[in-house]
A and B are shown apart, each in its own frame.
Chain A
Amino acid sequence: MDINTKKLKKNAFRVTKVRNKTASRIRVPGGHLEAKYLPVLQHIAEAYGDGTLHITNRQGFEIPGIDFEKMVEVNALLESIITGMDINREEENGGYPAAGTRNISACVGNRVCPYACYDTTAFAQRIEKAVFPNDLHFKIALTGCSNDCAKVRMHDFGIIGMTEPQFEPDRCVTCGACVKACTKKSTGALTMVNFRPQRDAQKCIGCGECVLACPNMAWTRSKEKYYRLTLLGRSGKKNPRLGENFVKWIDADSIVQIILNTYEYVEKYIDPEAPGGKEHIGYIVDRTGFEEFYKWAMKGVHLSEKAEITSPMYWSGIRYK
């Protein structure tokens, strides 16, 4: 058996513990797909794999037990999924053109969840379209609201949906539901002043609990969609840590631009000796200093006046001794 493992990894296959067997990794940007693709996956698993299928942490599928020589056939079968999900690819029937930039995962978002402040899957697909294929090791995740069910702070880029609550005093009936919800479930940004809730904009995280709690639509959502962008969280063996708040009340265009800019920054500064060409962005930033990263990341980015940038940025996390 002569197989170029570097090449197969980039083609979204894996070297597994079973000799001569690989696993096919199917990315599902935004973690939401039409059910019609499942029979294709079932067919691959039963005809080429061991009949099982793993749901991955990053919301893709992994089909194990495939013979290396069947990769070409499996890639041909994946064509309908890749084109159907509108995933950028280079060669017809060639399977996925890269695997370094991981599947962009998302919570179920506002297609289903009442709390979500936006369509997480659609935004994930937009980012996927902008960044894929790419061999650099980027982890991006989106979550609909500050509950962060998608655990985006474990990622290089975490995108948290926000809404800026709009208050119409004449619809307020002083029931106190918003203040109670904000105090018990969120940051306590609301207090009752003269029979009406007063919002502390500094404390408000745009979670929308007040909007959901208000029985009379005195609180509603802003027309504009806002996000919180968190940076450089990671798991791993060296210094796992949560992503820190970078920009609060940021817009979608700026997020996409910052991510694209970061690819250029990483190409410039990644450790040329990094094993497998893979280095978490955070370690690169640790090396260059945040200011250098910031300079690259913010090129051509025009934030609105509402956007609040955290400065200086610090991370903590776990250090093994």
Chain B
Amino acid sequence: MGYCFTEDGMMSVWSELEKRYDIYAPKRFAGKGRFSDTDCVRYGQVHSATEIVFDKKAEYSAKEFLLPNAETLFYFTEDQILESACKEKEMLVFLRSCDLHAIKRLDAVYLEQGFIDSYYKRLRDKVKFVLMGCPKAFDTCFCVDMGTNKSTDYDMSIDKVNDKYYMDCKIEEWTELFAQSAERVQDVQPAYVTETKTHVNLPVQMPNTMLQSDLWREYDGRCIACGRCNFVCPTCTCFTMQDMYYTENGKAGERRRVWASCMVDGYADVAGGGTYRKKHGERMRYKVLHKVWDFQKKHGYPMCVGCGRCDDICPEYISFSHCVNGLKKACKEVMENE
């Protein structure tokens, strides 16, 4: 059932929801952009719907609530291990359709590959999702081509039009509260994007020769291997482990897992001092093929959801969508010549 709220109605709903949930949404961090006197829009805890930024894409995705940047798994002494406690309060996370589709990818990786990652699961069980209606694509988005522009798999939805909030709510326990606070009850369909400026065509065949293609050489020089594209990506799921010893006696400490990036030095280091994919173009190949080919082979749908954040963030103006389109073209040429 859908509801239309005024600002006041929204506030009374909000105060009830906040008793139950920590609420996270894209918000403005004033003065916290990379460059001086610029802001950053990214995820943070919000205490009112007015704090939510609807008209900008969050630079970083919502994955950090399921997969923290750095997560302590357990604490250890010489003979004891104590598992870290999970956050107690439930979470309500506001996100767009593409990002909600990304959660499906995270679930696939952490829950559906033959075993369940308990650290992921314990956070996942605490999260409810509020789909943010997305009426218009940003320049770098290509969700329509990835089939992630529309989602019905949400717990609640929200659209802000002028000063009114339109919400759908599938959680039964809140329907009474919503109905009481709403200006009126009505059908609500979250807005979704139907057209994007950027288009991406995924390759349908992948000849093995593409691994050695000159296509990737361009990135040897252009890419600086900073990993921003991975860190902003809503579907990058890699982590590495750190055993951190408290310095006093070096015998107690904690084990934490931390986001890892296949673009950053050290990712493909192996025992004996070897390193795979030294060249940045090789790393680009590894990442791009994983996003649009390898994952799909296993799961039946591509990993990339077309949010375009990697294009937005790259300091060297390397465009993922441009690369994928180039890959598709190169694949086609190879197939035709064979």
Chain A residues at the B interface, C-beta cutoff of 8 Å: 110, 114, 116-119, 144, 161, 163, 169-177, 194-195, 208, 211-213, 215-218, 220-221, 223, 225
Task: Let me know if A172 and B244 touch, CB within 8 A.
Answer: no
- Per-residue A-contact encoding for B104-130, CB less than 8 Å = 1, 0 else: 000000000000000000000000000
Cβ contact of B244, chosen from A110, A114, A194, A217, cutoff 8 A: A194
Given contacts A216-B231, A221-B31, whether A208 and B36 have CB atoms under 8 Å apart is: yes
Q: Which residues 247-264 of B sit at the A interface, judged by CB distance below 8 A?
A: 247, 258-261, 264
Q: Which residues of B sit under 8 angstroms from A116, Cβ to Cβ?
A: 35-36
- Per-residue A-contact encoding for B138-150, CB less than 8 Å = 1, 0 else: 0000000000000
CA distance A208 to B264 in the complex (A): 21
CA distance A221 to B40 in the complex (A): 11
Q: Which residues 215-256 of B sit at the A interface, judged by CB distance below 8 A?
A: 226-228, 231, 240, 242, 244-245, 247
Cβ contact of A212, chosen from B34, B40, B240, cutoff 8 A: B34
Those 4 A-B pairs whose CB atoms lie nearest each other, nearest first: A215-B228, A173-B259, A110-B36, A220-B32
Interface CB pairs A-B, < 8 A, 11:
A170-B70, A174-B240, A175-B226, A175-B264, A176-B266, A194-B245, A208-B36, A211-B34, A215-B226, A215-B228, A217-B60
Cβ contact of B227, chosen from A118, A172, A211, A215, cutoff 8 A: A215
Task: Let me know if A117 and B70 touch, CB within 8 A.
Answer: no
Task: Let me know if B244 and A173 touch, CB within 8 A.
Answer: no
B338 CB–A CB distance under 8 Å: no
- Per-residue A-contact encoding for B291-323, CB less than 8 Å = 1, 0 else: 000000000000000000000000000000000
Task: Let me know if A173 and B226 touch, CB within 8 A.
Answer: no
B69 CB–A CB distance under 8 Å: yes
- How close is B280's CB to chain A, nearest CB, in angstroms? 14
Given contacts A173-B70, A215-B227, whether A117 and B244 have CB atoms under 8 Å apart is: no
Given contacts A172-B69, A172-B70, whether A221 and B36 have CB atoms under 8 Å apart is: yes
B42 CB–A CB distance under 8 Å: yes
Given contacts A208-B36, A215-B231, whether A195 and B244 have CB atoms under 8 Å apart is: yes
Given contacts A170-B69, A215-B226, 9 further A-B contacts (CB under 8 A): A119-B37, A169-B70, A173-B69, A173-B259, A176-B265, A177-B226, A212-B34, A220-B40, A223-B31
CA distance A196 to B266 in the complex (A): 16
- How close is B237's CB to chain A, nearest CB, in angstroms? 13
Q: Which residues 15-60 of B sit at the A interface, judged by CB distance below 8 A?
A: 29, 31-32, 34-37, 40, 42, 59-60
Identify the interface centre among B60, B228, B260: most chain A CB within 10 Å of its CB: B228
Identify the interface centre among A163, A217, A220: most chain B CB within 10 Å of its CB: A217
CA distance A177 to B259 in the complex (A): 14
Q: Which residues of B sit under 8 angstroms from A110, Cβ to Cβ?
A: 35-37
CA distance A174 to B264 in the complex (A): 10
Q: Which residues of A sit under 8 angstroms from B259, Cβ to Cβ?
A: 173, 216
Identify the interface centre among B68, B70, B260: most chain A CB within 10 Å of its CB: B70
Q: Which residues of B sit under 8 angstroms from A217, Cβ to Cβ?
A: 32, 34, 40, 42, 59-60
- How close is B159's CB to chain A, nearest CB, in angstroms? 28
- How close is A87's CB to chain B, nearest CB, in angstroms? 24
CA distance A316 to B317 in the complex (A): 45
Q: Which residues of A sit under 8 angstroms from B34, Cβ to Cβ?
A: 114, 211-212, 217
- How close is B53's CB to chain A, nearest CB, in angstroms? 16
Task: Let me know if A175 and B227 touch, CB within 8 A.
Answer: yes
Task: Let me know if B258 and A173 touch, CB within 8 A.
Answer: yes
Residue of B nearest to A222 (CB): B31
Q: Which residues of B sit under 8 angstroms from A195, Cβ to Cβ?
A: 242, 244, 258
CA distance A293 to B29 in the complex (A): 42
- How close is B121's CB to chain A, nearest CB, in angstroms? 21
CA distance A169 to B244 in the complex (A): 14
Task: Let me know if A221 and B32 touch, CB within 8 A.
Answer: yes
Q: Which residues of A sit under 8 angstroms from B32, Cβ to Cβ?
A: 217, 220-221
CA distance A66 to B46 in the complex (A): 64
